[in-house]
């Protein structure tokens, strides 16, 4: 496998991890804002996911 192809695969993995973390943080912020204005979400929250909620 060429070095260029290896670098590309590594970059894709890094981007996936980064985007997953970014999405989790954004979801947590959205849940907090909705909670502050009295709206509860129906899906288990990000914090429950981090605690090992069985839904995830």
Distance of alpha carbon 14 from alpha carbon 56, whole angstroms: 22
pLDDT tens for each residue of 18-54: 888 889 889 889 888 888 998 876 666 555 555 555 5
C-alpha angle with apex 10: 21 to 29, nearest 5 degrees?
10
CA of residue 23 relative to chain centroid, distance: 4
Distance of alpha carbon 7 from alpha carbon 33, whole angstroms: 39
User: What is residue 45's predicted lDDT score, i.e. its pLDDT?
Assistant: 56
Distance of alpha carbon 11 from alpha carbon 17, whole angstroms: 10
Domain ranges of the chain: 3-50
56 pLDDT band, cuts 50/70/90, is very low
Mean predicted confidence (pLDDT) in 3-19: 74
pTM for the whole thing? Answer: 0.48
Higher pLDDT, 17 or 5: 17
User: What is residue 50's predicted lDDT score, i.e. its pLDDT?
Assistant: 56
């Amino acid at each position: 496998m060429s070095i260029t192809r290896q670098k590309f695969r590594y970059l894709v993995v890094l981007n996936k991890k980064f985007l997953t973390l970014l999405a989790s943080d954004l979801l947590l912020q959205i849940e907090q804002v909705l909670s502050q204005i009295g709206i509860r979400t129906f899906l288990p929250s990000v914090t429950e996911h981090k605690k090992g909620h069985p839904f995830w």
